[in-house]
Structure 1
Amino acid sequence: MKFKLYIFLLLFSTIVFAQQKQVETSIDTTKNKIGAEFKLTVKTVVNSKSNVVFPKLKNIGALEVIQSYPVDTVKKDDTYELIKKYGLTQFDSGRYTIPSIKILIDKKPFATDSIKVEVTNIKVDTLQQKMYDIKDISSVDEGIGNWWIYTLIILAVIGIGALIYWYVKKHQLKKIEEEVYKTPIEKATSLLNNLEKKELWQKGEVKEYYSELTDIARNYIEEAIQIPAMESTTSELIQGIRTASTKKKMTLTPETVENLERVLRQADLVKFAKSKPLDFEITEDRNKIQKVILTLDNAIPTEVPAEEEDQLLNEAQRQKQIKLQLLKKRNQRIAITVGSVVFLLLATTTFFVITKGFKYVKDNVIGHPSKELLEGEWVKSEYGNPGVIIETPKVLKRMDTQKVLPKETMALIKEMQLFAYGSMIDNFYVTVSTSKFKNPVELDLAKALEGSIKIIEAQGGQNIIVKQEDFQTNQGIQGLKGYGTMTILNPEDKTSTKAYYEILLFKQDQGLQQITILHEEGDTYANDITTRILNSVELKKANN
């Protein structure tokens, strides 16, 4: 019995040892200085059909993982040697044990060997090495090099706008002052001719035409007959003309007053009731106004007592001065209001620039395309066959695969569907593609990743840095992730942009599912979009 027990224990230990030896563990050094890197290497040899999963770790025992290197693959005859390296470090001196970690091979766990390492202090020779006081904390002026440029641009634009506003208003005031001494009939006739040259009603601007036409008549009546026509309603103006004609002994026929009233009523309907007179009616109204003005001018008595004439002239001048003063006060109020708004805007902008940085102000005031995508309404949809369920900021549109893939590749594909949003030169680009192959083939995701990189190169990607690692969906489906940076050349303006990309690849029977995301490097909003998209990925099984 003892002999049989010994044989059993020997066979058991041999089996265990054989299982453990399928995973080899090594380290580049067992003794290192504080903060220096230990490189832990894990090797395993498997066949082409095996699925190997190396864990994603932030710490291994008491040591911190500062770098998880991509898996290297070396083909040896019919087997593959997979090499995974972890960069470890520790910032406290002492002796540590790197515990064993579990590697999954075809869903079976295999443990690595534990290794003892030592972390030593760095010796400082105070006799040879000079010692210096600790420097004061330096403040970081985020965006201080650029924000003041934008502020100067904004101030310059505001200054130019204010200068134009001041010039226009001053020119208007000067024009009004010059026209104080014009003959009212000459002014009215000139304005009527200018109105016809504008051809407003012929362009469909009937409301504007009637507004200017009646203003010309009202201005003439106010200047020639001294009636406050501009501030009066139609009824008040007609009553004022009747009263003035009696006082000034003006010979006016009822037809003249009725024609004026009819045009003013028509203008009120056009301006406030959106009435649309016919072309011949508009022409008749213009002729009526011209005739009314000429009739009124002829009806005004030419011989006026000197005292009364001076009184009328002084009254006209006084009314004009009142108008000028009112206009100046109104312009002052507008200027004060605009200045206050500009001051508050600049003060608020400066406050946020100082407290939150220029980037925050630019993204929230001027706007940022990636931020708008991130904060917009997202869409969750299923694309292709085998189906890929994914959540994106915008709906992906079906694309023509014939324009994307080379002919030799399309010859191998039985069915392919491609969906995309944006393009490689846009601020954010995402695609989802699914494909089935004509002939049975053992899909190699690493080679599929190489093919995807070649397609990106054909579309303008340059200097592509490729890293890869295993990827697992929330449902536990294993795949491959390729990621890195590249330079994208814009074919239109020949400019280049540094971009970051991620490519997910999954295989199901004879089907391949792929997700590609690309955006400008350093875009934090785009990084958040990418993370949300990848976390939403769900895969459906292929339908034959």
Structure 2
Amino acid sequence: MKRLFLSILFVSLTMSIWSQVTIDQKIDTMQILIGEQTKLTLSVTLDEKHHKVSFPKFERSQYITPGVEVLECSNIDTLGVEDNLIKYSKSYTLTSFDEKLYCIPSQSIKVDGKSYQTKDLALKVMTMPVDTVHTEKFYGPKDVQDNPFSWGEWATVFGYSILFVLLLILLAYLINRLNTNKSVIKPIKFIKKVSAHQKAITEIEKLKEEKAAVSEDQKSYYTRLTMILRQYIAERFNFDAMEMTSSEIIERLRDENEGAIEEMVSLFRTADLVKFAKYSVLANENDQNLVNALSFINDTKKEEEKPVKLVVEENEVEKKVKSQRRTLKLAIVVLTAAALFALIVVIYKVYLIV
């Protein structure tokens, strides 16, 4: 009796579980033309308890049956239904390229490791019907036709092309202007070169005009006088008299066999006494020393052709020309960049259209 009761309970539980699993299989359409697609949907309905559901797996381009190809498999979709049930479904996109009536075989769906089989389905693949009676309606294949020309597509290309050409013309003009203004005639100022004896005589004349300062500061007076003579001797005889002592200058002049040496000896001796020994000189001695200095310069001067020195000076016209050249160079750089940009836009637009 106890065994009979357990058997009845087991059968009841098994029938209860079986009644909670519902398998379904459907296809969107049972007739398609060659190359068309249809969807096969498998579904299983269970209670809300946790169950492991496994649907058939097909790779892309795998045949579900010979002649019927699987193009795509969707993910498992979960949907809650009434009476605390959950519906799991999965779709398969099918197609075929052979005219035939196919049998879609039953598929196995596993629930918690147990397999459930679906029913077989039919799929009819048909070709396009051809009218064999009205043959006059048949036309041969048409030639490849070009797309109609559209100004809207090419407007940007033509606009930037014209801009590119105009920029090239303007660039050529500016480069020509820059080359034309390359050689600029600069004004030349002629400056006469003053000889050594003329400069010395001029400085001595200035010193004579300052007689009032002689009696007050004889040291400065003789310092200036000897500096004028040293500068003249250095330029006239080509040795560094500015860095030599009075005795060295006299010795060097003796070697040059120049006249009026004795007057110069007296002048330099007097100058050294005034500068270093605070010697006081009479007015007539000052005049005599000036006369001796002028005599020495006149006796030793060298008459030569006065050379002319060319000095280039930049006037306002030259500055303006340089400013214009800088502006032209900057404009050329900017226009070159703009022309390159226009060319790039034209090439890119043509690439998109073609």
Q: Which has the larger radius of gyration?
A: 2
TM-score for the superposition, normalised by structure 1: 0.27
TM-score for the superposition, normalised by structure 2: 0.39
Higher RCO (C-alpha under 8 Å, 6+ residues apart): 2
